[in-house]
């Protein structure tokens, strides 16, 4: 398969996201790999040989920064030029009960 291109290409720690991935030669037997701290929640759905949709979960402790996206088939790996960027999680906001306004948490 050809090198994959994921959208969105920027994820945050702790997120569960559905990625739309474009490439070549997708289909049964093709695995997508985003790094050990980005887990597949479900098997990829291939709409045709050039597109897949896959739900992933980014571990809260995932290493931040850029990483190559890979396809694996019959023991062969293909890497991007496409990359996936992992950012820190957004700060959680808590409701300030006195004012009813959001407050940084």
- With 0-12 CB in 10 A as exposed, 13-18 as middle and 19+ as buried, what is 66? exposed
Residues 19-74: tens digit of each pLDDT: 998 888 888 888 889 999 999 999 899 888 888 899 999 999 999 999 988 888 88
Asked whether the predicted pLDDT for residue 16 surpasses 90, the reply is: yes
> pLDDT grade, residue 104 (50/70/90)?
low
- What DSSP string describes 1-48? -PPPEEES-EEETT-EEEEEEE-SS-STT-EEE--TTEEESS--EEEE
Asked whether the predicted pLDDT for residue 79 surpasses 80, the reply is: no
Asked whether the predicted pLDDT for residue 83 surpasses 80, the reply is: yes
Residue-level pLDDT at 103: 55
């Amino acid at each position: 398969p050809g090198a994959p291109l994921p959208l969105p290409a920027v994820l945050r720690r702790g997120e569960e996201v559905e990625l739309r991935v474009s490439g070549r030669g997708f289909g049964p037997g093709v695995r997508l790999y985003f790094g050990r701290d980005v887990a597949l929640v479900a098997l990829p759905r291939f709409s045709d040989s050039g597109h897949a949709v896959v739900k992933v979960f980014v571990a809260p402790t995932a290493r931040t920064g850029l990483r190559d996206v890979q396809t694996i088939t019959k023991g062969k790996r293909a890497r991007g030029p496409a990359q996936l960027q992992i950012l820190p999680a957004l700060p959680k906001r808590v409701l300030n009960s006195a004012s009813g306004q959001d407050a940084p948490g």
